[in-house]
Chain A
């Protein structure tokens, strides 16, 4: 499964990087995010409501920021349990490139699910993950530089 995307954000790279590490920004941008609390600089706990095909569930779990290479790249990873719906885990490697005072954000995401959500919705995972990733980065770009979303899902 390969989910990729690219956004041009009319803001300096340092600003974008700060936003990527800001729990408040992440909370507002993660689709279906009901809560996101910072445990440390790189560890957060989250509750996210998501729907895959006919199965909708509330996932609670951890979000971690890994492989930090400021202000260029990191990996944001999440793992949640959705009760009888099963579990979901996934993440995205995010790259920021400086381009004449603006920032080009590229990401590569992956997702894995288990339990009922996989049994019923396995064929829909790819599409759902793609949609959620795109929504997140679109929200993010909009948040960092309002009115900027010229983004394109490149996958």
Chain B
């Protein structure tokens, strides 16, 4: 292993730029003559828009234009598209309501745009927005996920009876019911997976510039996948042809899923720039981010587990209501279906599984993928249910998991919920977690806490996740309206350095470093001679972007494929230079050598020869002589569409200390063992996992997107009320890895970006319930705030 190749801990080269304030974010992009957009947003959760008077705003200082939904309609713009279709159990398609980029006639959540003011400066746009007079007729709103399907509640869409977008079934209902009929014990839990608000450190932003002389639009926007934005906004909303539409997402400060989607504000900037002939810029304020970034989670679930007399799982039955918000965000239908119920087998051999998911509309901000996207909800359900079952049947939580693990020799393993698991050794990860966490020493630590007046608890979770969604053909059958490949181009320059163009996008994942490590390793080019280019449809050939922990396994594999093509061509050039047969050329460590000789040529010389082809196998026109002829240049492109998802897994152990007088929970220890297959850069992998664990602890203890149930006002709409995890909320996280290479891609890697967020919430909650078990507490909803923990203790404690 070289110091900068695969497996090396290389400091992230991009961090110098970021920590010295020299990143280039969308808000840093300024175009000559640009003007600023400010959106007028509905203060009502549900209302008819009776009229909008823009006269005073249009006459205000600096105002260029005030545009409303009527202008959107008049210009014939399309609505925001949905990228995945779901079919209900009765065979009917999901309800797909229109979503204009500015509301027309009716608003359906607080924060929905009703007008946009465009002015010379940001402050002029804001001041003029105050003058837009909107006359609303407020309507009753439905907010609660639970109540949304009840009779007589307000309806968000006329087509969606009982507010149901789709009612989806998955798995084998009959086999599952049979399993419950023969069970010796059934455990039931009712769970809430609360609404989360993403909170990327960089707010969303866009700048659009339209060149009327060429008809070319350039959009800079905070996206995790600029090619997808180009396709979706160009084709569905703006009618801006792809070949005349460039989308650039430069440095992006965190996404967590919320920056996948083609947002209305980006489209509005493009439309206004085209209409007004000036560049238009918008950057969200934090308050806007809270209201308009797609939210995450928001499930209500009843889950039942059937067990035999030995604590083995016979069947699993799950019924979930998933809140979509007021409109269907781009991938919203996918999250509580194929990214959720397909994970219900977990790491276990449960033979029969059935899931029912009702997706519902409410008068709230649309909900879509948020770090983990369906898999945290699945894992929380399963790992909480198993712990509850273990308590009920009197089996240790570790033992009940071991009894049901899929054995290491059973791979590839077909689950009853469609997925074919690639590889794994679940017992080994759990062993390592128990050892690293000193599980055996817990009782002594518990007694020490008890002596100090604290309640100590320990919780386990053994999560699995499916990353690098694939393959495109199967996804298409299941409702995907896009492909799931990734592309890469490796371009050698004449002087031997390399530019790599990847369709992935880095917004904190460290691609500039880890992708360069892959290329350095595969091609033997010094690490510092490799540049990674992403996030620009004008430079990068094609891309699907970054989501679902796919960058390395799919995007990295495309890079490997392209490097193989480079080597293949390089061998032919080297064979010519070395006057040998191509079959006798071996490539290793950057050198092409003739087998069994000391004759070799470095790849840099080969690249130089390819661009300065003086001594080169040129075409001559003679078919026989041209069999080994080559075009000049060393520049290869590849697409990779994996055969399957890959399945990282882990074993998490959380130890908490609860103060029974205040309900304050401290995460005392946290151990995360993950198996993400082969590792390119251990430091980046640990960083991803630890960041994910912190985000998961945030969900377990602190974060909650809360609406006023009557009025639909977002109550946790600022950092005064929406509590993000901070350094003092988390312990030093002990993370380590086991390595089971993935057979589904040439790097043998699995995704690591979401594991921490998926595995940690149930470990934390299981630990708190363990700590409170002396009081008979069996259930606690997230976030386990001091108030909730204190109340649970008070309610459970027998009256004194």
Contacts and interface: CB of A to CB of B under 8 A. Distances in A.
B505 interface: no
Interface string A116-153: 10111011000000000000000000000000000000
B715 A114 contact: no
A118 B711 contact: yes
B711 A119 contact: no
B708 interface: yes
Nearest to A60: B133
Contact of A118 (B40, B42, B130, B708): B708
A118 B287 contact: no
B248 interface: no
Given A84-B126, A114-B43, A118-B715, 5 more contacts: A83-B131, A87-B44, A116-B43, A118-B110, A118-B708
B379 to A, nearest CB: 31
Contact of B290 (A83, A119, A122, A123): A119
A83 B129 CA distance: 8
Contact of A119 (B130, B131, B133, B287): B287
B713 A83 contact: no
Main secondary structure of the interface of B (DSSP, over half): loop
A24 to B, nearest CB: 28
Interface residues of A, number: 15
Nearest to B129: A84
A123 B716 CA distance: 9
A32 interface: no
B44 A119 contact: no
A120 B716 CA distance: 8
B714 interface: yes
A7 to B, nearest CB: 31
18 contacts: A81-B133, A83-B130, A83-B131, A84-B129, A86-B43, A87-B43, A113-B713, A114-B110, A115-B43, A115-B110, A118-B713, A118-B717, A119-B714, A119-B718, A120-B717, A122-B708, A122-B713, A123-B721
A123 B129 CA distance: 26
Contact of B715 (A81, A84, A115, A122): A122
A75 interface: no
A142 B400 CA distance: 73
B227 to A, nearest CB: 34
A118 B720 CA distance: 12
Given A87-B43, A114-B44, A120 B287 contact: yes
Contacts of B711: 112, 114, 118
A115 B39 CA distance: 13
Interface string B714-743: 110110110000000000000000000000
Contacts of A122: 708, 713, 715, 717, 721
Contacts of A114: 43-44, 110, 711, 713
Contacts of A113: 713
Contacts of B126: 84
Contacts of B290: 119
B291 A119 contact: yes
A135 to B, nearest CB: 24
B591 to A, nearest CB: 62
Contacts of B720: 120, 123
A120 B287 CA distance: 8
Contacts of A83: 129-131
A112 B708 CA distance: 11
Most chain A CB within 10 A, of B42, B43, B131, is at B43
A81 B135 CA distance: 10
B129 A118 contact: no
B575 to A, nearest CB: 68
Closest 3 CB pairs of A and B: A115-B43, A119-B717, A118-B713
Contacts of B718: 119-120
Nearest to A114: B43
Nearest to B38: A84
A122 B721 CA distance: 9
Interface string A19-30: 000000000000
Most chain A CB within 10 A, of B41, B126, B713, is at B713
Interface string B108-131: 001000000000000000100111
A118 B568 CA distance: 63
Contacts of B721: 122-123
B364 to A, nearest CB: 13
A83 B43 CA distance: 9
Nearest to A113: B713
A63 B126 CA distance: 28
A119 B133 CA distance: 20
Nearest to A53: B720
Contacts of B133: 81
A114 B287 CA distance: 14
Contacts of B714: 118-119
B663 to A, nearest CB: 19
B102 to A, nearest CB: 16
A58 to B, nearest CB: 9
A84 B115 CA distance: 12
A116 B290 CA distance: 11
A122 B43 CA distance: 13
Nearest to B42: A115
Interface string B405-417: 0000000000000
Nearest to A58: B130
A112 B44 CA distance: 12
A83 B133 CA distance: 8
A114 B713 CA distance: 6
Interface string A52-90: 000000000000000000000000000001011011000
A113 B45 CA distance: 12
A51 to B, nearest CB: 16
Interface in B34-56: 40-44
Nearest to B713: A118
Contacts of A120: 287, 717-718, 720
A38 B40 CA distance: 31
Contacts of A115: 41-43, 110, 713
A119 B708 CA distance: 10
B708 A116 contact: no
Nearest to A115: B43
Interface in B110-169: 110, 126, 129-131, 133
B427 to A, nearest CB: 49
A119 B130 CA distance: 17
B119 to A, nearest CB: 14
Nearest to B130: A83
A115 B715 CA distance: 10
Interface string B346-374: 00000000000000000000000000000
A106 to B, nearest CB: 26
Contacts of A119: 110, 287, 290-291, 713-715, 717-718
Interface string B520-534: 000000000000000
Contacts of A84: 40-41, 126, 129-130
Contacts of B129: 83-84
Interface in B1-59: 40-44
Most chain B CB within 10 A, of A114, A115, A120, is at A114
Nearest to A122: B715
Given A83-B130, A84-B129, A123-B721, A116 B715 contact: no
A123 B722 CA distance: 12
A123 B110 CA distance: 18
